[in-house]
Amino acid sequence: MQFKRHGISIGMERINDEFFLYIKAIGELTHEDYEHITPLLEYALEGVKKLRFNY
């Protein structure tokens, strides 16, 4: 039996007054995956006043 692995890992870390959000996608995510991910990200970022992105 073969498995098709896909998913997302979300981590949050605080150093002094700065928060870091880590997102790692694995495999091929579906539209349904994104429907589940979006509320989690919105909740995680709810209290953040200043956002800065690093790619």
| CATH number of the domain residue 13 falls in | 3.40.50.10600
Question: How remote is the C-alpha of 20 from its chain's centroid?
Answer: 11
Please answer whether residues 6 and 26 qualify as being in contact, where contact means their C-beta atoms are separated by less than 8 angstroms: yes
pLDDT of residue 48: 76
Asked if the model's pLDDT at residue 52 lies above 80, the reply is: no
Give the chain's domain count: 1
- Domain range for 36: 1-55
Confidence of residue 4 (pLDDT cuts 50, 70, 90): confident
Model pTM score: 0.54
CA pair distance 9, 4, nearest whole angstrom: 16
pLDDT digits (tens, 9 = 90+) for 5-22: 878 888 888 889 887 888
User: Is residue 2 scored above 80 in pLDDT?
Assistant: yes
Number of neighbours of residue 9 by Cβ within 10 angstroms: 9
